[in-house]
Amino acid sequence: MHELGITRNIVSIVEEAAKGRRVTRVTLDVGRLSGVTPEAILFCFDIVARGTLLDGAKLDINSIEGRGRCRSCGEAFETRTLFEACGCGSRSIERLAGEELKIRNMEIEEAA
Amino acid sequence: MIELEAQILAKNDALAAKNRGWFLGREILALNLVSSPGAGKTTLLERTIRDLKNKIPISVIEGDQATSRDGERIRAAGAAAVQINTGAGCHLEADMVEKGLAELKPPFGSMVMIENVGNLVCPALFDLGESAKVVILSVTEGDDKPLKYPHMFKAAEIMIVNKVDLLPHVDFDVGAAIGNAMKVNPAILALRVSARTGEGMDDWYDWLDHRMLQSRL
């Protein structure tokens, strides 16, 4: 359950950036090969956000598909696991995407 | 909308980089030992300390959710140890290691072993500033574990297959286990040892020697 610690990181980074303003929405990029489960972050988020500037904010998670490029033949393809081999047989794959663990943006409450 | 583009683990990564510089400047080899609970991390450390303590000072940072049992075992073997209880936490983070180092004060040119919490999932994501991750897999587990927990085997520089003295009694296929680890991490090095009987430990010590040399400036 490292997602609890990760969610605490998310809330603390966003709170710092919000500089006292209320946050209404946060959007994350989470790669499918990042080792982090979006459902678990969603589960933790409301609890961790309680009593902070993010209390009641909506959390959107973009799930990023894994992609790699074969170092041997140069072919780029979708990778569903960390250990997929290329069609040419090579297992030396450069990761292009899928390991993201990033806060993309936030929306803050407009001053009335 | 405010663009942030912030790495979620940036704080830990920055502290890990600081630890890494701290080790480099002191020519210390720092290893992050990871495995499932019960794979034999503490036993491997105890034997390593007993066999090497006259050659090289070893200090140990012990991570556990609770109790100071492992720390006591390590001290009894002859190394300085600091125990960090992570409580509900399932892994060590870089700030805990930083605090542990301040307490341990490992000497110049020595070795620091960081025994992470027994868990093959979470510790893979948290860089501690170590020189290398060492993953320990015991033959009483499944030989498909590298495929089930690929992040850890991908992050590790070396895999120790432990408890090989039990091989006659279990179905574990060492070749298959190493093959599975290499599917995830073609560069991973594999050693077969029994920390209990001492079988294969010389290969481990050779690797430590080699890595110690690399940590010299």
Residue B13 in this model has a pLDDT that exceeds 90: yes
% of chain B surpassing 90 pLDDT: 88
Q: What is the mean pLDDT of residues A33-45?
A: 94
Most confident of A2-6, A108-112, B105-109: B105-109
Residue A59 in this model has a pLDDT that exceeds 60: yes
Alpha-carbon gap, residue A2 to B122, rounded angstroms: 6
Nearest to A105 among B1, B122, B147 (CB): B1
Beta bridge partners of B189: B158
The answer to whether the annotation marks A86 as part of a ligand binding site is yes
The answer to whether the annotation marks A109 as part of a ligand binding site is no
ipTM rounded to 2 decimals:
0.86
Q: Do A83 and B122 touch (CB under 8 A)?
A: no
Q: What is the mean pLDDT of residues B42-58?
A: 96
Q: Do A13 and B126 touch (CB under 8 A)?
A: no
- Mean pLDDT lowest among A16-30, A58-72, A79-93: A79-93
Lay out the sheet containing A93-97: strands in order across.
A76-78, A67-70, A93-97
**Domains contained in chain A, number:** 1
Q: Which residues contact A59 (CB under 8 A, 6 or more apart)?
A: A25, A26, A27, A28, A41, A42, A45
Q: Would residue A89 count as lying in a domain?
A: no
Q: Is B216 helix (H, G, I), strand (E, B) or coil?
A: coil
Which pLDDT score, from 0 to 100, does residue A112 have? 56
Q: Would residue A51 count as lying in a domain?
A: yes
For A87-106, the pLDDT digits (tens) are 999 888 899 999 999 999 99
Q: For chain B, first and last CA: distance in Å? A: 48
Q: Which residues contact B18 (CB under 8 A, 6 or more apart)?
A: B94, B98, B129
Which pLDDT score, from 0 to 100, does residue B162 have? 98
Q: Would residue A55 count as lying in a domain?
A: yes
Give B-chain residues touching A28 at CB under 8 angstroms: 8
Which pLDDT score, from 0 to 100, does residue A1 have? 64
For B77-123, the pLDDT digits (tens) are 999 999 988 777 788 999 999 999 999 999 999 999 999 999 998 89
Q: Residue B180: phi, psi to the nearest 5?
A: -65, -40
Q: Do A9 and B150 touch (CB under 8 A)?
A: no
Q: Would residue A90 count as lying in a domain?
A: no
Size of interface A-B (CB pairs under 8 A): 77
Q: What is the mean pLDDT of residues A66-81?
A: 95
Q: Would residue A9 count as lying in a domain?
A: yes
Alpha-carbon gap, residue B117 to B105, rounded angstroms: 22
Q: A3 pLDDT band (50/70/90 cuts)?
A: confident
Residue B64 in this model has a pLDDT that exceeds 70: yes
Residue in chain A closest to B179 (alpha carbons) equals A83
Q: What is the mean pLDDT of residues A35-54?
A: 95
Averaged pLDDT of chain A: 94
Question: Domain B10-214 adopts which CATH fold?
Answer: Rossmann fold (3.40.50)
Alpha-carbon gap, residue B25 to A66, rounded angstroms: 37
Residue with the bigger pLDDT between B122 and A61: it is A61
Q: What is the mean pLDDT of residues B46-61?
A: 96
Exposure class string for A88-111: b at 16+ Cβ within 10 A, else e: eeebebeeebbbbbbbbbbbbeee
Nearest to B151 among A10, A35, A107 (CB): A35
Q: Do A36 and B151 touch (CB under 8 A)?
A: no
The encoded tokens of residue B88 equal 């509900």
Which pLDDT score, from 0 to 100, does residue B190 have? 98
Q: Do A35 and B2 touch (CB under 8 A)?
A: no
Residue B167 in this model has a pLDDT that exceeds 80: yes
Lay out the sheet containing B2-7: strands in order across.
A58-64, A23-31, A101-108, B2-7
Q: How far is A1 from chain B (nearest CA, A)?
A: 7
Which pLDDT score, from 0 to 100, does residue B68 have? 81
Residue A60 in this model has a pLDDT that exceeds 60: yes
Q: What is the mean pLDDT of residues A31-55?
A: 95
Q: How far is B66 from chain A (nearest CA, A)?
A: 17
Alpha-carbon gap, residue A52 to A57, rounded angstroms: 10
CATH number of the domain encompassing residue A59: 3.30.2320.50
Q: Identify the domain containing residue A26 by its residue range.
A: 2-66+97-108
Q: Do B5 and A103 touch (CB under 8 A)?
A: yes
The closest alpha carbon to B106, from B52, B60, B53, belongs to B60
Q: Would residue A76 count as lying in a domain?
A: no
The encoded tokens of residue A43 equal 């589960």
Nearest to B8 among A81, A82, A101 (CB): A101
Which pLDDT score, from 0 to 100, does residue B213 have? 95
